[in-house]
């Protein structure tokens, strides 16, 4: 029996995040053990931390966190694709490839998804299916913390693809947090004509301008719908991306879109939330209203490639680094601060 211990952060409930010494995971055939070198904080983690809410993909208490990268330190029997010392990242999801959704190519909607949690720890066990469908080696030129950001970027890529963000578009992004900023960086790279970004925090808007926003709207000072209309000759935007996850901003986004445009409701609302949609908007204006959930393995792969090829510079989104033992401070800081975007947790 292996009785080796490791340090990990477990979530027990609302704002109840505890550092504990737990058994170091043991690997089976087809699996690898990874020493985590960096794990980044994420809006989803932050929501779960604040609400203590348990969604479909996480049962508490559990080791928290899902964006990570590290070094392979143990290789199970039958694994030929990875060896000791390989720098890897792996996604937090691995679709089954067999269910109805997978057979339709809708891998992010897999009915038998294997979720992988446990990034805020010294080690993580990576299952065989995850190795097979959703892991990549990290090239030398890319840091662990950059590679960890392949997860949120994969989700953003999926959303932008579904919404059809295209060359020459005017895009409004509601929310200048890490996800809003990733959408902005991607839209600029796609070649949209203009990105307008809205937030309540002036610090975040200033940061968005530094990263390339063409216009910003401070919604604590200006009525955002009027402001968007004023910036677009009254037309509204080709694509509006909601990156907060509140019913009020979901509804507000519907008022910012142009005829024939698309509203991507990207931020997840609390389960049971309802919004009102004006039927005329869908009928006469032919507006498309859509959501986007998570990403497919292809998006994860593309996301890492965009980072390693320096097509997108995600580095500025990591605004601080903290040791694993200070994880609770990191999350409390994200709750209260308006300037911290993502914190890299270093075990
Ligand atoms: Zn995430
Ligand atoms: Zn499936």
Mean pLDDT calculated for residue range 284-291: 98
For residue 191, is it within any domain?
yes
Distance 179 CA to ligand 2 centre (A): 26
State pTM to two decimals. 0.96
Q: What is the pLDDT at residue 32?
A: 98
Asked whether residue 144 falls in the same domain as residue 176, the answer is no
Q: Residues 167, 192: contact at Cβ < 8 Å?
A: yes
CB within 8 Å of 299: residues ≥ 6 apart: 108, 154, 155, 157, 158, 161
Distance 116 CA to ligand 1 centre (A): 12
Q: What is the pLDDT at residue 271?
A: 85
Distance 313 CA to ligand 2 centre (A): 32
Q: Which pLDDT tens digit goes with each residue over 13-51?
A: 889 999 999 999 999 999 999 999 999 999 988 988 888
Residues with CB under 5 A from ligand 2 (ion): 95-96, 99, 102, 110, 112
Distance 155 CA to ligand 1 centre (A): 8
Q: What is the pLDDT at residue 214?
A: 98
Containing 209, the helix (H) or strand (E) segment is helix 202-210
Tell me which ligand sits closest to the C-alpha of residue 43. Answer: 1
Distance 109 CA to ligand 2 centre (A): 7
For residue 300, is it within any domain?
no
Distance 67 CA to ligand 1 centre (A): 6
What CATH number is attached to the domain comprising 279?
3.40.50.720
Asked whether residue 55 falls in the same domain as residue 158, the answer is no
Asked whether residue 120 falls in the same domain as residue 185, the answer is no
Mean pLDDT calculated for residue range 115-131: 97
Asked whether residue 172 falls in the same domain as residue 207, the answer is yes
State the Cα–Cα distance between residues 109 and 119, nearest whole angstrom.
Answer: 23
What CATH number is attached to the domain comprising 44?
3.90.180.10
Distance 197 CA to ligand 1 centre (A): 21
Do you find a cis peptide bond into 61, omega within 30 degrees of 0?
A: yes
Other C-beta atoms closer than 10 Å to the C-beta of 279 total: 8
Tell me which ligand sits closest to the C-alpha of residue 92. Answer: 1
Looking at the predicted structure, is the pLDDT value of residue 57 above 70?
Answer: no
State the Cα–Cα distance between residues 296 and 299, nearest whole angstrom.
Answer: 5
Q: Kindly report the CA angle at 15 between 9 and 19, in degrees rounded to 5?
A: 20
CB within 8 Å of 28: residues ≥ 6 apart: 76
Q: What is the pLDDT at residue 337?
A: 81
Asked whether residue 276 falls in the same domain as residue 171, the answer is yes
Asked whether residue 324 falls in the same domain as residue 286, the answer is no
Q: What is the pLDDT at residue 118?
A: 94
Distance 343 CA to ligand 1 centre (A): 12
Distance 309 CA to ligand 2 centre (A): 30
Q: How many domains does the chain have?
A: 2
Looking at the predicted structure, is the pLDDT value of residue 59 above 80?
Answer: no
Looking at the predicted structure, is the pLDDT value of residue 58 above 80?
Answer: no
């Amino acid at each position: 029996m292996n009785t080796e211990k490791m340090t990990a952060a477990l979530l027990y409930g609302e704002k109840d995040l505890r550092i504990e010494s737990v058994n170091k995971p043991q690997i089976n055939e087809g699996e690898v053990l990874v020493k985590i070198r960096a794990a980044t904080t994420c809006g989803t983690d932050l929501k779960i931390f604040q609400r203590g809410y348990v969604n479909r993909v996480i049962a508490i208490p559990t080791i928290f966190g899902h964006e990570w990268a590290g070094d392979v330190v143990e290789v199970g029997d039958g694994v030929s694709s990875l060896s000791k010392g390989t720098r890897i990242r792996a996604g937090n999801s691995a679709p089954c490839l067999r269910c109805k959704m997978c057979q339709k190519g809708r891998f992010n909607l897999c009915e038998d998804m294997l979720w992988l949690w446990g990034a805020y720890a010294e080690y993580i066990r990576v299952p065989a299916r995850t190795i097979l469908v959703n892991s990549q080696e990290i090239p030398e030129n890319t840091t662990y913390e950059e590679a960890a950001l392949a997860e949120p970027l994969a989700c953003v890529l999926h959303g932008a693809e579904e919404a059809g963000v295209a060359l020459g578009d005017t895009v409004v992004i509601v929310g200048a947090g890490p996800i809003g900023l990733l959408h902005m960086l991607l839209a600029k790279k796609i070649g949209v004509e203009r990105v307008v970004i809205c937030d309540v925090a002036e610090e975040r808007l200033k940061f968005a301008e530094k990263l390339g926003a063409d216009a910003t709207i401070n919604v604590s000072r200006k009525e955002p719908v009027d402001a968007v209309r004023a910036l677009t000759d009254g037309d509204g935007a080709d694509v509006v991306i909601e990156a907060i996850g509140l019913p009020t901003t979901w509804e507000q986004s519907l008022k910012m879109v142009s005829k024939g445009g698309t509203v991507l409701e990207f931020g997840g609302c609390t389960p049971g939330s309802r919004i009102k949609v004006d039927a005329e908007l869908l009928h006469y204006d032919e507006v498309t209203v859509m959501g986007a959930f998570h990403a497919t393995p292809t998006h994860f792969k593309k996301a890492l490639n965009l980072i390693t090829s320096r097509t997108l510079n995600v580095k500025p989104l990591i605004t601080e680094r903290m040791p694993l033992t200070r994880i609770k401070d990191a999350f409390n800081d994200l709750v209260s601060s308006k300037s911290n975007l993502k914190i890299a947790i270093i075990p």
